[in-house]
Amino acid sequence: MAQVTASLLCGAVVALLSSAVLAVVEDLDQTFKDTRMNDIWLVDFYAPWCGYCKKLEPVWADVGAELKASGSPVRVGKMDATAYSGMSSEFGVRGYPTIKLLKGELAYNYKGPRTKDDIVEFTNRVSGPAVRPLPSKQMFEHMLKRHDVLFVYVGGESPLKEKYIDVATELIVYTYFFSASEEALPESMALPEIPSVAVFKDGSYFTYDEYEDGSLSSWINKERFQGYLQIDGFTLYELGETGKLVAIAVIDDKDPSDECIRLKSLIQMVAKDYRQHFNRDFQFGHMDGSDYINSLIMGEVKVPSVIILNTSNEQYFLPDGPTETLEDLVSFITGVLNGSVQAYGGDGIVQRVKRIAFDARSTIMSVFRSSPVLGCFLFGLPLGVISLMCYGICTADSDPDAGDMELMKREGFTDEEEEEEDDEEQRRTAQLEGPENDEEEEEGEDEEEEEEKAPEQKKTD
């Protein structure tokens, strides 16, 4: 009896915990549009049939529970974008799932990995102020240890600071932005001028130069990654927005061979030692496996190898020979930069057609993998209707009189046979009418013979 009671209590506790977790994620309806301005919202726009949306459901519940436990002011919700298509269109939802943080009139898209920690970190960053102050050296050094890439405005009020705040409001979805006075800088750091914007990464710091680096927004967008990093599908997508070429060592991270380790080391050395030469145009890193790259180039890249991707026009570059030394790799990268290395792929008409066919095939396969019944309904039903239409067109009679002729042939009649039967009927009728008709016919025949005589015979007569 005691065991039964204990099991019932455990079941009740689990049910209460489950309901508590579900309560932190609110189901949103049409009233959300009118009430959302009062709070900061993190919303998952989903479709009930979407396989990726279903995978996100438990993660989304964990995100809601984490934010509520930490005392975050952000409210977490989810909306069926197919049921409220008009509202989701107003928020710019074009795919499922779409994660957005809504703060007043601003809407920020989340484009990172769909994990609890990444989504919570994004939420905490974007929901706070665009620029956070660093009031002391201790706080400055603490943030340097905590962040791999740190953007800091140093100085007082200035037009550069106003521009920095505007850029931070736009790009806070990617990284943190801080401001500090000159006194808060560590003693080992000396900026060339004040005010200034600096990025701290890769064990060093680099300052923004308007004349060499162009717009502040473009410079921050290019510098928001470490010089060398591990690249996955999400990171490669974000790197495409920087406008840089991406030099990748394609290796097997789970079982690295000596060749994998050697190529990875070469890429790291180029990223560090040749920053001044290549940093403006290249991003360096490594990727585990070649499956994702194979889908991009619609080909096959061996592991290990080196490849350079131009995500803006879908071109890629491969070395002509083996990459044995640092000089070989530097020569290859330089050749890509000056245009002497052959480019493959691209966004021409042929490649676009191939890409459409490849993407269509991938989409169909993903639909069938996630929901076979839905895939059969979406693609099988139209194909069946089209097949029936084609069958009906191919089997239709091309000549409408052909059916009547075929029917007559089956009954044993043709046009000639009908005429012969009519003549025979007339002969029978003539025979039945008697000899008077025969005499009249003979007289008629005599008259016809006289009319047919030649004129000379008539004169002779």
Q: Would you name the residues annotated as active-site residues?
A: 50, 53
> Pairing between strand 74-80 and 305-310?
unpaired
DSSP string, 192-257: SSSSEEEEEETTEEEE--HHHH--HHHHHHHHSS-SEEE--HHHHHHHHTTT-EEEEEEE-SSS--
Do the Cβ atoms of 95 and 118 come closer than 8 Å?
no
Neighbours of 200 (CB within 10 A): 20
Cα gap 192→208, rounded to integer Å: 10
- What is the C-alpha to C-alpha distance for residues 109 and 45, in angstroms, rounded to an integer? 11
Q: Return the closest-CA partner of residue 194 out of 165, 143, 152.
A: 152
Spatial contact of 118 and 164, defined as CB atoms under 8 Å apart: no
Q: State which amino acid sits at residue 255.
A: D
Instruction: Answer for the pair 347, 314: CB distance below 8 angstroms, yes or no.
Output: yes
The b-or-e profile of 223-247 (16+ CB within 10 A means b, else e) is bbbebbbebeeebbebbbebebbbb
Task: Calculate the dihedral angle through the C-alpha atoms of 198, 203, 204, 208, rounding to the nearest 10 degrees.
Answer: -30
> Is the distance from CB of 271 to CB of 228 less than 8 angstroms?
yes
Q: Give the residue from 167, 168, 199, 194 showing the smallest Cα distance to 183.
A: 194
Identify which of 53, 62, 355, 110 has the alpha carbon closest to the alpha carbon of residue 234.
110
- Size of the chain, expressed as the number of residues it contains: 461
In degrees and rounded to multiples of 5, residue 160 shows phi and psi of -65, -35
HSE value, Cβ hemisphere, 13 Å, CA-based, for 328: 12
Taking the C-alpha atoms of residue 97 and residue 293, their distance in angstroms, rounded to an integer, is 23
- One-letter amino acid at 439 equals E
